[in-house]
């Protein structure tokens, strides 16, 4: 296939500029960017709570971005290798908070860890809203 495919994964809940910059930098590493958006069920099993924004809305936002060519639901953390093969990805991109954790995929594709944007995260936005009393945890 002509051109280089980059793949990355995330939840992208309460979409923010850190997400946008990561996706733009991932896209710049190749010719096509494919994004795995984790399902609500995967988040429940992994973090014990559901994202604020449902998966159908989160994937719609990701698909609408100019830097994203394709998006799909990531159903299980164990399937990353299968997704890499399915989309014929040349490069797997992860945030540097995952540094070293995906090196075993180097026999399938290149693995790049990109720096995160400082000072913003979904967790931080959620905690700020709770602190200000905009939302309560249930």
Q: How far is the CB of 53 from ligand CTP (least distance, A)?
A: 11
The 68-87 site mask, x for binding ligand CTP (CB under 6 A), equals --------------------
Would you list the DSSP string of 22-39? HHHHHHTTSSEEEEEEEP
| Cα 75 to Cα 32, 50, 137, distances in angstroms | 22, 14, 26
The 37-56 site mask, x for binding ligand CTP (CB under 6 A), equals --------------------
Tokens of 67: 């830097």
CA-based nearest residue to 87, from 137, 30, 126: 30
Q: How far is the CB of 88 from ligand CTP (least distance, A)?
A: 21
Q: Which positions lie near ligand CTP, rule CB under 6 A?
A: 10-12, 18-19, 22, 94-95, 97, 116-117, 120-123
């Amino acid at each position: 296939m002509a051109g280089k495919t980059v793949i990355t994964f995330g939840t992208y809940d309460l979409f923010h500029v850190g997400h946008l910059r990561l996706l733009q930098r991932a896209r710049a590493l190749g010719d096509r960017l494919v994004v795995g958006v984790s399902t609500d069920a995967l988040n429940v099993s992994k973090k014990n709570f559901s994202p604020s924004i449902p998966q159908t809305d989160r994937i719609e936002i990701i698909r609408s971005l100019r830097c994203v060519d394709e998006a799909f639901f990531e159903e299980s953390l164990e399937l990353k290798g299968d997704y890499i093969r399915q989309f014929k990805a040349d490069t797997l991109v992860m945030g540097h908070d995952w540094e070293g954790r995906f090196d075993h995929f180097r026999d399938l594709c290149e693995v790049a860890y990109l720096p995160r944007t400082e000072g913003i995260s979904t967790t931080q936005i959620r905690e700020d809203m709770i602190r200000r009393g905009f939302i309560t945890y249930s």
